[in-house]
Structures are given as C-alpha cells and as structure tokens.
Structure 1
Amino acid sequence: MNGMLRTAGATIYYEVCGTGPALLIGQSGEGDADRTADLVRHLAADHTVITYDRRGLSRSALDDPGRGATMADHVDDVHRLLTAVTDRPASMLGCSFGAVIGLHLAVEHPEQLDTLIAHEPVAPGLLPAAERAHHVRELEELQRLYRERGLPDAFAKIAEVLGIDPVGQDTEPGLTPHPLDDRRRAGFDFFIRNDFTAVVRDTLDVGALRDTPVRVIPAFGRTTPRHVFDYRCAQELAALVGAEAREFPGGHNGSTTHPVGYAARVRELLARPVGVLDVG
C-alpha cells in the first residue's frame, strides 16, 4: 500500500507493506522509500514496514520549495505519519540522518515508539564540545565543496567523512541497483544544501534522552572506521543512555549493502527483551 499524507507545509509519500508489529525505517542521506527495498523484503514477513520519502526528496513535495526544511519539520512529518498509520507504539530503525529524527521522536513523542535502533546517528550534539565543533566544520566545508565543485567531488568527500568505501566495500550478492539517476541527484542536492544545515543547527535535547521511556539501541557498522564521527556518535549515545552499542553487518550504509544480515540483526534485537544483552 502506498499513500500521500498532508503535513505542515508538505505532502509526504509513504509505503506500508508486510504483516506484524509496525516498524518504521528512517533512511539515511538522500534515501527515499525505495532506498532499502531489499531490506524491506526481508523484514516484511513478520513486520508491517513503513517507509517514506522525507520532505524535499523524490515524491514528497514542499508547498514552498524555497523554504527548505528544518529538523523540526522532519520530526513532525514522522509524528504525523505514525499517527496516520498506527494507533500503537511502533519500532523504528533510524539510519544516519534518520536516526537523528528517531532520537527527537524518542524525546518529543515517546508514546509513539517502543524501540529505536539508532544506527550511526549524524548528531554532532552527542559529542564533546571540541569534537562537535570539528565535525560541524566538516559538514559546512562539505556544503561549500558541493556548491563550488559539484556532486562528484562532494560525494567522494562525504564518503570519506562517513568512513564509506564506495568502490571496495563488501556487499551481499544480488542487490537491487540504485544508479545515480536524476532523482538521486536531486535528492543529494536537497540533502547537502538543506539537511546538512538541519544537522548543524539541530537542537536535540541530549540530556532528555537519558530519561526517555523508549528503548534506544545504539548501533554501528562492523566496517565503519572507529575514528569517524558517525561511529563516535553511536558510542557517545550508548554511554548517554547506558546501553551497549550493537554491531551490524557492513558499514555506515549496511542497510543497503547487507540487507539479509542487517534484517536478521534488526529482527534479533527487536525480539530480545529489554535488559538482555548480546555478545555479538
């Protein structure tokens, strides 16, 4: 099933498939509802999986394209989407930017979530001050690089900053191709110009995360370099909420490179009672 949802200042495209408890996927980067099609197929057997295009991407249109979108807009969209599709607390898998949206939801609308898997959230606010300032400058420099030299140069540098090897990374076989077509290029344009700024200006109440009733599971990729800021954010989140950071197959974009293993890990963690730790 797919649909269009009117929110404040935008129309949001979403898809719902499968049966079982509700599981919302918040995508990374320029990813839209199609980004994790392989992962969704493996989760839909026992979950009702909800995916969507963030405002400004693909089929989700802004009423005023020149206004852009704030983090508060993105969070409100997810709040309204969950209200529209389920009347019970859902689980959420948030990847990168999507994980930051999930952290906001856990603080601002905790009644809508029972569990949040936050995979390598791009949330500089989780980091110590000096480290946070360094990575904010990285994001601003990436925006400047994109404006001055275009997507190919910016794409390579973004991959480096996030610890992604776009050429030599390990993948599972039989993945659905996601070519860099016009829709993805437009998505990258909005993501870099707009959503990088949303991250830099984010006002996430980090302290309130300690008290959220939502079960927050910090996560990181097996091959993500340990010095990059997305890995560091996952570790700082784990320390903040007093939870073990859990390892997932692949790196920062493991949800697309290792959908079988990634789905198995999601299913395993969502099935585990609160307080029961794994050794993986």
Structure 2
Amino acid sequence: MIDPLHYDTTGNGPVLLLVPGGAGHPMGLGPLTERLAQRFTVVTYDPLGLAHGRLGRPVPDQRPAHWSDGAHRVLETVLPPGERAHVFGSSSGGIAVLDLFARHPGRLAHVVAHEPPCVTLLPDGAHERADLIERLTAGQHASAEDGPPSPMAVFLAHVLRPFTAYTPAFSAPTGLTVAAGADSRGQVLHRTAQAVAQRTGSPFAEFPGGHLGTLEHPVAFADRLTQTLLAADAPGAAR
C-alpha cells in the first residue's frame, strides 16, 4: 500500500518544492513561503503528515529514501508534463533533497541543500555524529515523557540517527548548490556543508542567518534562495 502524500501549494510561477527539516513539519515556514510565492508555485512537502492531522500517530524509523521517494511522487503529481521543478531542503530536508537529486533527477531543474547534517564526511565523522546526537537529545527525554508527542520528539526518535548516517556518493558539478548559514561559520554544520559541496563537486553558497535561517530571516532567506535559483535558470548557466 502506497502512503498518502501530504503537501500544500501556494503562489504562481515555476514549481519550487520545499522539504522542511526536523521531522518534516513545516511549522513556522509561513513567512518564507509567502515571500517565495511571489515568484514561484511553492509546494511544501510534509513527509510524515504531521501538519495534516497525523501528529501523535505511530511513526516508524525513517530513511532519506522514504522522503525522497515521496518528494518524487509529489513532483510527478504537481508538475505539468515536460516541466522541471526547483527544490529546496534544509537540515534533514537537505539530506532528503540530496537523495532526491541522486535517485530521481529527471524532473529537477536545480536543487539547493541547506546545512544537510552529513557529519560523517568530516574528519572523525563518527565522533562528530555521536556528539551531534548527544547534544540534540540532551534534556529531551523527560519532556517527551511529560507531554504530548511533538515534531521534535518524532525527529529525535525516528529521523536524527538514520539521517545523520547518510553520505552522498555522487558527483554533481551542475544542478546542485550546497548552502550554509552565514551565522553558522565555525560551527559543525557549516563545515559539513562545505564538505558536502567538496564531495559532490557542487557550488557552495552562504545564506542569511544560521541553521534556522528560514525562520530567523525568512524574507532575506527567500530572496537569497530566489536569487540562487534564478541564476541557475539564466541563459548559459550550468544546470
């Protein structure tokens, strides 16, 4: 049985698929999508349906391929015949769009992966991954027991570990941009994004804010993303 798709659409123009981070819950992305919708048909994918009435239901452990296959199905549903979509993903969503690029490139125009936590690419990557998991899960277990389930609880229990084990194993000199927040300089996920860009042979770009730049500076972030995608569309641009 194929799982149902959960996504929202707003705006007009070329299709831009967004894959949120965390557990894929598009919480707080309204200002970003509102700005992007001035130039694009923004399709926000909710891979676990947490914003569509499924929060609190059982969730199995996730894999990047689960999300990228779902994202591919969304594109096949919303894209007119012969057209291609821009794609943006941040954090765990950044890992999902890397896997989408690797496994389903046929309907993609340009992909931007923002701070994908592929920390195993770093020197002493196993230690970096263990440290990242420990820092993110510290103090969460008690609060998860005391209250109702949350997207963060789902992320920590079913997304964080399998996604941070993902390593891109492809070369992408065109069609992919790897990004990190300017405020993340010197931090592990900024270094990780640079490592992903180096591994894939892709351009590296800095975006406004830090790891949560989509929430911290939604207008400036949307404008930087729009600039990146329009540059990729320009005549003569590598794709």
Contact 2:118 2:196 in 1 (8 A): no
Could you tell me how far apart the structure 1 residues matched to 2:18 and 2:163 are? 19
DSSP 3-state at the match of 1:11: coil
Contact 1:91 1:114 in 2 (8 A): yes
Higher mean Cα deviation, 80-89 or 92-101?
80-89
The letter of the residue matching 2:7 is Y
| Aligned twin of 2:15 | 22
| Aligned twin of 2:102 | 107
Paired residue for 1:266, among 213, 221, 225? 225
Could you tell me how far apart the structure 1 residues matched to 2:106 and 2:74 are? 14
Paired residue for 1:223, among 153, 165, 183? 183
Paired residue for 2:210, among 229, 235, 251? 251
Say if 2:202 is the partner of 1:207: no
Could you tell me how far apart the structure 1 residues matched to 2:34 and 2:140 are? 37
| Aligned twin of 1:189 | 153
Identity of aligned residues (%): 30
Contact 1:32 1:53 in 2 (8 A): yes
RMSD (CA atoms): 2.8
| 94 and 65 in structure 1: CA distance in 2 versus 1, 3 angstrom threshold | same
- Structure 1: unaligned runs, 5 residues or longer: 1-6, 152-180
Could you tell me how far apart the structure 2 residues matched to 1:39 and 1:144 are? 27
Measure how far apart 1:229 and its partner are.
2.2
Instruction: Encode CA deviations 1:166-208: one digit per residue, 9 max, x unaligned.
Output: xxxxxxxxxxxxxxx96xx511110111101222443x4x232
Say if 2:61 is the partner of 1:68: yes
Could you tell me how far apart the structure 2 residues matched to 1:82 and 1:258 are? 27
Number of equivalences: 232
Query: If the length of structure 1 is used for normalisation, what is the TM-score?
Result: 0.73
Paired residue for 1:232, among 191, 197, 204? 191
Contact 1:14 1:33 in 2 (8 A): no
| Aligned twin of 2:127 | 134
Measure how far apart 1:114 and its partner are.
1.6
Instruction: Encode CA deviations 1:233-274: one digit per residue, 9 max, x unaligned.
Output: 111122223343211111111111111111111111111147
Could you tell me how far apart the structure 2 residues matched to 1:269 and 1:234 are? 16
- Structure 2: unaligned runs, 5 residues or longer: none
Measure how far apart 1:139 and its partner are.
3.9
1:112-191 paired onto structure 2 within 5 Å: 112-128=107-123, 130=124, 132-142=125-135, 145-146=138-139, 148-150=141-143, 186-191=150-155
Could you tell me how far apart the structure 1 residues matched to 2:49 and 2:217 are? 27
Measure how far apart 1:100 and its partner are.
0.3
Contact 2:89 2:96 in 1 (8 A): yes
Instruction: Encode CA deviations 1:49-70: one digit per residue, 9 max, x unaligned.
Output: 00022216232649x8253322
The letter of the residue matching 1:230 is L
Contact 1:71 1:199 in 2 (8 A): yes
The letter of the residue matching 1:261 is A
Contact 1:30 1:187 in 2 (8 A): yes
Higher mean Cα deviation, 141-150 or 113-122?
141-150
